[in-house]
Amino acid sequence: SASATRSSLAHASGIAAVTIVGSGIMGAGIAQVSAHHGKDVRLVDLSEENLARGKAAIEGSLKRVLKKEADVDAAVADVMARITFTSSMEEALKGSDLLVEAVYEDPETKRQIFGVAQQYADDECIFATNTSSLSVNSICNGVRPERFGGLHFFNPVPMLKLVEVIKTDETSDATADALREFAAEVGKEPIVCKDTPGFVVNRLLVPYLQSAVDMMERGDASKEDIDKAMKLGAGMPMGPFELLDVIGLDTAALIINSWVRTHGDTFNATPAIDKLVSDGKFGRKNGEGFYKY
């Protein structure tokens, strides 16, 4: 049924087919909203196991998003039919207008992916990274720099409206415009920003989360009371500890520690988060972080 697809099938961005590399939380979410809004989606990961996990996550989330449809299963199937799951970059990039890389935050892995993609993608294909913490320019590394930018979604992707479009010094206006247009077509509100650490949201949000952890460590208040305070006193949907558990403490630690290395004047370490990570407590994704799930 056409009803499950919210937008008209217009592709003013020039982007009808999108390849997403990485079927984790972010990649699956980006694939989901793209397919939901009529894009031809190819989701790439290394193993069948990863792809199956991504597929299950998309189906589960679509069931929630489409729960008011008369025939939920049919509406979900309609969106799923627009997603191809594959481990072949060559197959995934055939006729693709946009590549969104959404693998874990390792610069060398990301650069390798774009190096491989460069062999298979059409010349016109735009390359974008969903990095949260790395410099977009360092990931680009000279690969089609005018047609390379950041396209940063927020977790959970189906719920959060924002997309940061990151322009490096070399990203062309036409590329930034197409990325903005694409974000709008998949139901999001884009903003444009420069390639600075944390872009806009994380540059402001991460120091706030770190301050909350420091506050608890000093014994100023309990984590429960800090969470309650920010929800009821500042209108946040989640308190800082609840949010850290959603982001994933492993991911938070990776982000923070990479900034401590590259921008130590601006960002401090958070040993309490590192300790939880070394104890294997990653947050909601594995059942325990600051809280138990």
> Does 94 show up as a binding residue in the annotation?
no
Sign of the C-alpha dihedral computed for residues 103, 160, 174 and 195 taken in this order: negative
Q: Is 164 a catalytic residue?
A: yes
Q: How far is the CB of 9 from ligand CAA (least distance, A)?
A: 22
SS3 100: strand
CB closer to ligand CAA out of 10 and 74 = 74
* Residues contributing to the site for ligand CAA (CB under 6 A): 61, 64-65, 132, 154-156, 158-160, 202, 237-238, 243, 247
| Phi, psi (rounded to 5 degrees) for 60 | -60, -45
Q: Which amino acid is at 70?
A: A
> Does 194 show up as a binding residue in the annotation?
no
Say if residues 202 and 258 touch (Cβ distance below 8 Å): no
Catalytic residue among 11, 202, 242, 258: 202
CB closer to ligand CAA out of 3 and 47 = 3
Estimate the share of the chain in helix, then strand, then coil, as percent rounded to the nearest 5.
50, 15, 35
Q: How far is the CB of 90 from ligand CAA (least distance, A)?
A: 30
> Does 23 show up as a binding residue in the annotation?
yes
CB closer to ligand CAA out of 94 and 203 = 203
> Does 27 show up as a binding residue in the annotation?
yes
Q: How far is the CB of 206 from ligand CAA (least distance, A)?
A: 8
Measured CA to CA, the distance from residue 75 to residue 79 in angstroms comes to: 7
Q: How far is the CB of 38 from ligand CAA (least distance, A)?
A: 18
> Does 47 show up as a binding residue in the annotation?
no
Q: Which of 164, 152, 153 is nearest to 192 (CA)?
A: 164
Sheet architecture: strand order including 98-101: 83-86, 40-44, 17-21, 98-101, 126-129, 148-152, 162-167, 189-194
> Does 7 show up as a binding residue in the annotation?
no
> Does 105 show up as a binding residue in the annotation?
yes
Torsion region of 24: left, alpha or beta (phi above 0 gives left; psi -120 to 50 gives alpha):
beta
Catalytic residue among 11, 34, 101, 164: 164
Tokens 């939380």, residue located: 25
Element (H, E) at 274: helix 271-278
CB closer to ligand CAA out of 92 and 158 = 158
Q: Is 132 a catalytic residue?
A: yes
CB closer to ligand CAA out of 125 and 150 = 150
Q: How far is the CB of 230 from ligand CAA (least distance, A)?
A: 11
CB closer to ligand CAA out of 11 and 149 = 149
DSSP secondary structure string for all residues of 180-228? HHHHHHTT-EEEEEES-TTTTHHHHHHHHHHHHHHHHHHTSS-HHHHHH
Catalytic residue among 132, 133, 135, 258: 132
DSSP secondary structure string for all residues of 224-256? HHHHHHHHHHH--SS-HHHHHHHH-HHHHHHHH
Q: Is 11 a catalytic residue?
A: no
Q: How far is the CB of 237 from ligand CAA (least distance, A)?
A: 4
Residue showing the smallest CB distance to ligand CAA in the complex: 132
Q: Is 152 a catalytic residue?
A: yes
Binding site listing = 22-27, 45, 61, 68, 105, 110, 132, 155, 285
Annotated binding site for NAD(+): 22-27, 45, 105, 110, 132, 155, 285
Which residue ranges make up the annotated binding site for CoA? 61, 68, 132
Residues with a known catalytic role: 132, 152, 164, 202
